[in-house]
Homo-oligomer: A and B are copies of this chain.
Amino acid sequence: MIARRLLTRQLCRRQPPILCIASQACAAAIAARPTPFREVRQNSTFTPPFLQRLPDTVSTILEKSRKGELVEGAAVTVHGWVRSVRKQKKIAFAQIMDGSSDQMIQLVFLDPSIALDLKTGVSVRATGKLEVTPTRQDPYEISITDPIEILGDYASPTDLYPLQKKFMTQEYLRREHPALRFRTRVNANVMRLRSVAITALSAYFLQNGFFQTQPPLITSSDCEGAGEVFTVANSSSSSSAGEHFFGQKAYLTVSTQLHLESLMMGLTRVWTLTPAFRAEESMTSRHLSEFWMLEAEVAFTKDLESVMSIVEGMIRSAVTRMKSEGVLDQILSLKRMLEKQKATAKEGEDDEEMVTADEVSERWNTLVATEQPWKRITYEQAISVLQDAVAQGKVEFQHKVEYGESLKSEHEKWLARHYAQGPVFVTNYPANMKPFYMLPGPDGTVECFDLLVPDMGELVGGSLREHDYERLRGAIAASGMDPEPLEWYLELRKWGSVPHGGFGMGFERLICYLGGVYNIREAIAFPRWIDHCAC
Contacts of A239 on B, CB cut-off 8 Å? 242-243
A300 touches B79 (CB 8 A): yes
Contacts of A242 on B, CB cut-off 8 Å? 231, 233, 239, 242-243
24 A-B pairs within 8 Å (CB atoms) are namely A48-B373, A57-B269, A60-B209, A80-B268, A81-B496, A99-B266, A100-B209, A152-B495, A152-B496, A155-B497, A179-B488, A180-B262, A182-B263, A182-B266, A187-B266, A191-B263, A218-B528, A218-B533, A219-B535, A220-B534, A228-B234, A230-B234, A246-B531, A250-B533
Contacts of A42 on B, CB cut-off 8 Å? 207
Q: How far is the CB of A101 from chain B (nearest CB, A)?
A: 9
At the interface with chain B, which of A2-10, A26-34, A121-129? Answer: A121-129
The 3 closest A-B pairs by CB, nearest first: A182-B266, A152-B497, A46-B317
Q: Is A229 an interface residue (CB 8 A)?
A: yes
B300 touches A151 (CB 8 A): yes
Q: How far is the CB of A324 from chain B (nearest CB, A)?
A: 9
B46 touches A215 (CB 8 A): no
Contacts of A498 on B, CB cut-off 8 Å? 79, 123, 151-152
Q: Is A248 an interface residue (CB 8 A)?
A: yes
B262 touches A179 (CB 8 A): yes
Q: When chains A and B are docked, how far (Å) is the Cα of A267 from the Cα of B99?
A: 4
Q: Is A212 an interface residue (CB 8 A)?
A: yes
The answer to whether residues A98 and B317 also contact, given A207-B43, A499-B151 and a CB cut-off of 8 A, is: no
Interface residue count for A (Cβ, 8 Å)? 154
Contacting residues of chain A (184-199) with chain B, CB-CB under 8 angstroms = 184, 187-188, 191-192, 194-195, 198-199
At the interface with chain B, which of A15-23, A307-315, A407-415? Answer: A307-315
The answer to whether residues A100 and B533 also contact, given A489-B179, A495-B155 and a CB cut-off of 8 A, is: no
The answer to whether residues A208 and B44 also contact, given A218-B289, A493-B155 and a CB cut-off of 8 A, is: yes
Q: Is A370 an interface residue (CB 8 A)?
A: yes
Q: Looking at the complex, which one of B161, B221, B495 makes contact with A180 (CB distance below 8 Å)?
A: B495
Q: When chains A and B are docked, how far (Å) is the Cα of A248 from the Cα of B309?
A: 43
Q: When chains A and B are docked, how far (Å) is the Cα of A306 from the Cα of B53?
A: 7
The answer to whether residues A266 and B218 also contact, given A79-B300, A202-B199, A533-B245 and a CB cut-off of 8 A, is: no
A313 to chain B: closest residue by CB = B47
The answer to whether residues A217 and B217 also contact, given A233-B231, A266-B187, A267-B100 and a CB cut-off of 8 A, is: yes
Q: Looking at the complex, which one of B183, B211, B493 makes contact with A266 (CB distance below 8 Å)?
A: B183
Q: Looking at the complex, which one of B54, B122, B496 makes contact with A121 (CB distance below 8 Å)?
A: B496
Q: Looking at the complex, which one of B219, B524, B532 makes contact with A533 (CB distance below 8 Å)?
A: B219
Q: Looking at the complex, which one of B214, B235, B467, B495 makes contact with A161 (CB distance below 8 Å)?
A: B495
Q: How far is the CB of A256 from chain B (nearest CB, A)?
A: 10
Q: Is A145 an interface residue (CB 8 A)?
A: no
Q: When chains A and B are docked, how far (Å) is the Cα of A292 from the Cα of B212?
A: 13
